[in-house]
Amino acid sequence: MENLTLAIKGMTCMGCVASVTRVLKATAGVKDAQVTLQPAQAQVQYDGAQTNPAQLKAAVEDAGFEASEPA
């Protein structure tokens, strides 16, 4: 299992947190996703053989948010 932290822009409420959590957990290979509003980020545990950071970012962006790896 691999771990990834993504900074998420555009979340304003717990509904947004739930949306991001839902799309990440629905991505093949994701074992767990913990999303927080403060700080606005997602910590994702995933199987690198089934998905990758680019696919995880794309899933968040498809849900209407911006995702990037923290600097």
2-41 residue pLDDT tens: 999 999 999 999 999 999 999 999 999 999 999 999 999 9
Cβ-based neighbour number of residue 11 at 10 Å:
23
Q: Residue 42 in contact with residue 10, Cβ under 8 Å?
A: no
pLDDT at 69: 84
Residue type (1 letter), 71 = A
pLDDT at 71: 60
> Among 45, 8, 5, 39, which Cα is nearest to 25's?
45
Whole-structure pTM over 0.85, yes or no?
A: yes
Residue type (1 letter), 9 = K
Model confidence pLDDT, tens digit, residues 30-71 = 999 999 999 999 999 999 999 999 999 999 999 999 999 876
Architecture of domain 2-68: 2-Layer Sandwich (3.30)
